[in-house]
Chain A
Amino acid sequence: MFVIGMRAPEVAESVRAGQFVNLGWAGGPLLRRPFSVYRADGDVIEVVLKAVGVGTAQLLAMELGDRVSCLGPLGRGFEIKGSHALAGRAQGAVLLISGGLGVAPMPLAARDARAAGARVTWVHGARTAGELCAETDGDEVIWATDDGSRGIQGTAVAAAPQADLVLACGPNRMLAAVADRWPEAQVAVETYMGCGTGVCLGCAVPLKRGGYDRACKEGPVYRAADVNWSMLPTHLAYSA
C-alpha cells in the first residue's frame, strides 16, 4: 500500500471524509481513476493505492513536480458531526471499520469524528499482516487478519466492538456484513466509475427500495441497510 500526495489547495480546504477525487494523467488510462482522499493537510491531499495495474504503476513512477489532473472533491461523504447517532452525547463512540484499501477515507473520518467530540476506535482488517496499512489513527486501534498473522484472527466486522456511530469502507462483501450487524452504519461503497460527475450513470448502486442511483453523486456513502448488496460485485478487481 502506497501513499501519494499532491498539491490541491481547493480540495484540501473543503474535502470531507468519504469524498473522493478523480485523477487523470498524461499517458494514463482513458478514464480517470477515483480515489478517496486519505489525508488533507494545508495545500496537500493524499490518496492511497496498491500497485495492481498499469495505471497505478504509472502513478507510483511519478517524480516530484509531475502533474496530475485532479477533479474534486466529489460525492457525498460521511455525515459525522450532524449524525443522529451522535446527537445529544457528550462523547459519542465512533467506530471506523476498514478492510484492505478501505483505509482510504478513515484518517479524515477520525479527524472529523474527533472534531465532533467523539472517541474513535478504528478496526482494520486484511488477509495478512503484510497487507495491513501501517498507518492508523484513533484512540484505540484493533487489528484483524484472516490468517491471524496480526491481531485478532477473523474479519474486521467480527472483531469490532459496539459503538454509537459506525463508518465503514472496504470490499462490498465486508460492507454487506456491516449492514447485517449495523443497518444504520454509513458505508462507502466501491463501484466501477466512469465520469465521477453524475452524467454517465456507470457507477450504479442497486438500492433495497428498487432502482439505482449513482455512487459518484448520491454516494459513495450510503446507509448500509439501503443498499441491495446481493446485486453488487463482492469486490472489484482493482481493489483486491
Chain B
Amino acid sequence: MTVDMSVAAGGLHLRGPVLAASGTFGYGTEMPLLERRALGGMVSKGIFVRAREGTAPPRIAETPSGMLNAIGLQGPGAEGLVRDYAPQWATWDFPVLVNINGESASEYGELAARLDGVPGIAGFEINISCPNVEQGGLYFGNDPRAAAAVTEAVRKRTKLPVWVKLTPMVGDIGVIARAVESAGADALCAINTFVGMSVDLNSYKPRLSFRTGGLSGPAIRPLAVHLAHQAARAVHIPVIGIGGISRAEDALEFLVAGCVAVQVGTATFVNPRAIAEVHDGIAAFLETRGFGSLADLPRYLPRD
C-alpha cells in the first residue's frame, strides 16, 4: 500500500507535508540534496531587497536541546537571488518559496513585486518574526495592524501564494493570525524562533555578539505545538507547523494539532537526512495505523 502524502497548503499543491524551513537549508544548493524526493517544498533563506552582511560572530550558541542564532539575515538581496538561485529552482520538482523581509511595509511589497513572476519562485513566506534585525522583523509580528499592513502590501503586488511566518513572542497569537488572514494571507507558518539570551561566564558578556538570538530546536517543540494549534484554531486558512521537529512523531504532533504541513529546520543542521526521515516516518505511521492518506489522519482542532 502506498500512502497518499500530498497536501494542499495555502495555494500550493505539495507532494508531501514536510518542507525545509527558512534559514536552515540555504538556497537548497549548498548540500547535495539528499533524498530530495521527500521534500514537499523549500523555503529559502530570508532576504531583503538589498544584500546584507549579517551580524558579527559569534552568531550561534548551543543551549540545552536547542540553539540560539543571530545571523542577521545575511544574504545576496533580490538581484543575487534572481541571478544565482532562481534559475536552479525552476528545474526542481518541488516548489520553492522565498522568505521575504523589509524595514517597512512598502519595502516588503517592493521585494514581492521584484520577485513576482521570476521562474523558480512559487510563493512567498513573509517574515514578520525575525528577532535578529535592528529594523523591521519582529516589530511587525507582534502588532496586528503592522502585521496586516505588511501582508496587504505583499498581497497587492503578487498573485503567488503568500504565507506569513508568525512570531511566538506575542500575548495572543490568534489575534495576529486573524489579522493577517483578513489581510489576504493564504497560509500561516507557526512559529519562528523565541528570543533568548545566554551569558558567557568567562567574559561576563552575552555569548552572542547580537546579545540576543532566536531559540530553536527540540527545546521549543511543546511551546511551538501549542502556538501552532492556537493559530490553527483562530483561522480558516491552513497553518504550517514549525518548531523543534526532528522525528516523524514530532511532525505528527503538529499535524494532529491542526497543521496541514510542517517545516523542519534545526534538525537539518544535525542530520542532513532529517527531512527524508521525517517524511518516511509519517508515511510509515499512517500505513501502520491503517490510513490510506495523510488526509485521513485524525485531527484535534476544536474551533475558537
Contact = CB atoms under 8 A, between A and B. Distances in A.
Nearest to B218: A30
A192 B61 CA distance: 8
Contacts of A204: 54-57, 59, 71, 74
B118 to A, nearest CB: 22
Contacts of B104: none
Residue of A194, A211, A232 most packed against chain B (CB within 10 A) = A194
A237 B199 CA distance: 13
B1 interface: no
Interface stretch (B6-14, B20-28, B142-150, B282-290): B20-28
Contact of A195 (B57, B74, B269): B269
Main secondary structure of the interface of B (DSSP, over half): loop
Contact of B217 (A30, A69, A195, A211): A30
Interface in B51-77: 53-62, 65-67, 69, 71, 74
B268 A192 contact: no
A33 to B, nearest CB: 10
B23 A200 contact: yes
Contacts of A206: 56-57
A195 B269 CA distance: 4
A107 interface: no
Nearest to B52: A211
Contacts of B57: 191-192, 203-206, 212, 231-233
A154 to B, nearest CB: 25
Given A71-B272, A194-B269, A201 B74 contact: yes
B200 interface: yes
B225 to A, nearest CB: 18
Given A212-B74, A217-B30, A202 B59 contact: yes
A66 to B, nearest CB: 18
B91 interface: no
Given A31-B62, A200-B269, A231-B57, A194 B67 contact: yes
Contact of A199 (B30, B62, B66): B30
Residue of A200, A232, A237 most packed against chain B (CB within 10 A) = A200
A198 interface: yes
A102 interface: no
A30 B62 contact: yes
Main secondary structure of the interface of A (DSSP, over half): loop
Contacts, number: 93
B53 A30 contact: no
Interface size class, chain A:
20 to 34
Nearest to A55: B62
B31 A199 contact: yes
A197 interface: yes
Contacts of A199: 24-26, 30-31, 45, 268-269
Nearest to B30: A198
Given A30-B62, A192-B57, A200 B270 contact: no
Contacts of A200: 23-24, 60, 69, 71, 269
B54 A212 contact: yes
B275 to A, nearest CB: 12
Interface string A4-34: 0000000000000000000010000111100
Interface string B209-225: 00000000110000000
Contacts of B60: 192-194, 200, 202-203
A75 B67 CA distance: 22
Contacts of A211: 53
A202 B59 CA distance: 5
Contact of B67 (A30, A233, A237): A30
Interface in A38-81: 69, 71
Nearest to A211: B53
B2 interface: no
A88 interface: no
Q: Which 4 A-B pairs have the closest CB atoms?
A: A202-B60, A195-B269, A198-B30, A199-B26
12 contacts: A30-B270, A195-B269, A195-B270, A199-B30, A199-B31, A199-B268, A200-B71, A201-B54, A202-B60, A203-B60, A212-B57, A237-B200
Interface of B: 23-26, 30-31, 45, 53-62, 65-67, 69, 71, 74, 200, 202, 217-218, 266, 268-272
Given A31-B269, A197-B269, A199-B268, 9 more contacts: A31-B62, A31-B67, A32-B270, A192-B57, A193-B60, A198-B30, A199-B30, A199-B45, A233-B58
